[in-house]
A and B are shown apart, each in its own frame.
Chain A
């Protein structure tokens, strides 16, 4: 057993970016005699795990290159019939023919209405960047808003509500604990630091150090597996009930304990804004700005009036303004919280009241309200408590309130974007020394932060709901959806008809999305999309391609991709949230493309050129990177491929260091401490009191009335448009009865990224060695009572007769009222034989009706009432 070194004529490591999940850890690939044989992380980089650490699926990424099932030539459907279980009868065609076909089709549609073309983003296959480009690529075609996006990857199970509030509060896409300084972390349906979430391995590394330092980590989760299994304490909770516990803790802080960070509340939240009886802001008659009451001067002032010191702003009381009675919105807020007792929360969530109390107490005790810390010579408030959430808790019809409640407890003790607290993802990015491309947040209307970069649409300022709707997603009406849910709902035709949406989609131009099986009810997805001409760029023929795809173009995997842009704009998506230096990696090819596969950016350019919109796209690129140097700008009429564009953009972004950076595969530069806790130093306020929702509700109800859109019939709960984080039962709980007595939920397994990793034989092999990855988990005692044992094959069936098969595996660490399914298994595409038949598909069990989506943020109810029985 040893290396035969005499057989080696080439042996090199190539620095690139991992493309197996969306985190984009720095990775290097060993290539021997032209064959990629090994992947490790990049030790110097903070993007990723300890040292040259990568997670298992990242290490297994080689198989993306070696998989013989990759498509190598464009495939055209010859069977006009579409659907699940129908053979598409693929025919290989030439690239030229394929691209002509696309261009011809697009031109024809565009003569009529470009909004009839849908695009997909591509989080499905990873941080396989570029990130934001599909959005403005679509704009080059004249597509409006973000409503023409069908979501890939994490699908709507991902974070609409999280992103919305992440943006409004932190100016960031997501949140993480400040691992370096925190002492007490609460995780709600989130696996940050223990597997998934953004910057997964960066977080895992930071968390491991924190745990070794002795922090306490308390996890609320239906199962004690990835997050719960590693927690200091795991508390079993029913899916979708986190808000109840969060609100009870908030009530404890405000009304029982009465210890809050008042200065923070006065300085950094909108709690001091004066509201009228109807709950809306009292605004200044001229400037239209919200008002506050200065107790020192005894005067009502504009919120940003510098003559009022923070500590003097009123949090309570009743005042007069222009003859109207006004009061700080904290007053009703405080009153409102009183109803949320610990016992009440325990009843709903199944977390024992004593435990909730213990956590609440621990939270306030550890918050060290009033303390400060000096780092790198700069002094900040020190609040070593952090409350974070992601997919799990927000994936419910009450998602927005779940996230708001979890955020609220951090607001009350001032543990937001300060050392030890909850940090937004890097929301700003400084320019590389000697280069360009700097992104910082600004302060928008009402003192709310406007993020620098955001996917699809910005959370602030938010446009007022309007009609007619102009795109499939109807984001004109649902203004808070990061990505819209409307394309998937069964009632889509009714919605479109009523809201005057005339751009009925005719074509999808997608990147490896698997939206048919990764969102909700498969049949509804097929029904909603099958009439489109579906073009996808993909590595394999996946389930969506097989069911409704018309033309599949072979894409390159991240190992063959020359993607200079992969991380430049993704600082807010995958950077280290801590005060570690900036790292931006390139994705460099380690091998030649397989077959005739082509990088989708080059295909994008080719198609745009054929359609005649390339100049527009190029102009958007110039704009996006802010290229001012005329030498470097892409000029009208120029046709450059992605690599050539990179030559210019990199020069602009990195200046003279471009070559050096290309050579080493990444750029790094110092991040000073004030860029980490940047929010403390800018004058912005978190809209904890969600006043905007009152206006949204009014506008929407008006639209619904005018258009005859019967939202009540569709059971869309408009009451959720309330400014106060409140308790609403998630739709799944309402469906529980004697027959459908279990809540099915899904969770992310550290080994899997959506469904692509199911096709990786390395991952497949170890998944079979995991007790829970390919199985359906039941609480041991519950299983026994119901007569199930390990290895039984069961059906899980929802109220609408949709069922899925799976294999039982019992575990103690799971709430007895739920069943758990990992990832997006239950695959059947012939193009992915390794994946076929592995695991079970949770998504299909989710009903695709409007009432099962959060009426505000549009995220999907990701728990479902089911019954189980032996197959």
Chain B
């Protein structure tokens, strides 16, 4: 393929997009909405994976002490907790300390619970020698006197996970639906292009243009549609994720879990979405070419 040929293909494909006007715009918008949803779903999936790995590796068990437990009873409890097999380390965190954590996460409005109004329990934070042991440790700790509650990473984040999972599932389901819509819209514009160029196609075949020569402009038109459709959602996802990371990230900080760094997420995500968009375009084009382009 020489430069003249490439130039011809590019010109043909740009001309078609312009000529198709609103149809092309609808197809581009279809791609945009699809990519936005796919992008959000992918970001959620990747973060859920990351967080569950964090949780799996989390060796901590949080033990809440019943209110009105005396210092002596607490010492005894600490010794008993230390005796549980697989407990490697134990730290004490007073309810005042716990409140400071909450205030740093959720803001100073919680400061009013200071002093005797503090509803939080005192805590022992145990570290297991192995993340798998946290469940047994929590179960044993629960049975001790003066323990009101014992929880490990998994139990705490279950609720967060179930929310994120449903976001992911609905996102993916919608994405798949929209994927079809986008492919349909693109194949429709390509169909219009093929029909409006039927005489040209006939001449090309007659004078011996190769099959690929005839196909290229349509494939390119599909790919451009994908490319144009991907711009807005990519910007939205990149900016959106950065600000969510800053917001949620701060809240998660004290729990020891974290979202994926924007720098680490955005590039792989952008490239995958770009590829998906171009594939949607090429696939849409291929469908119409199969049906309407007899070469």
- A and B form one complex: no
Task: Give me the interface of A with B, judged by CB distance under 8 Å.
Answer: none
Task: Give me the interface of B with A, judged by CB distance under 8 Å.
Answer: none
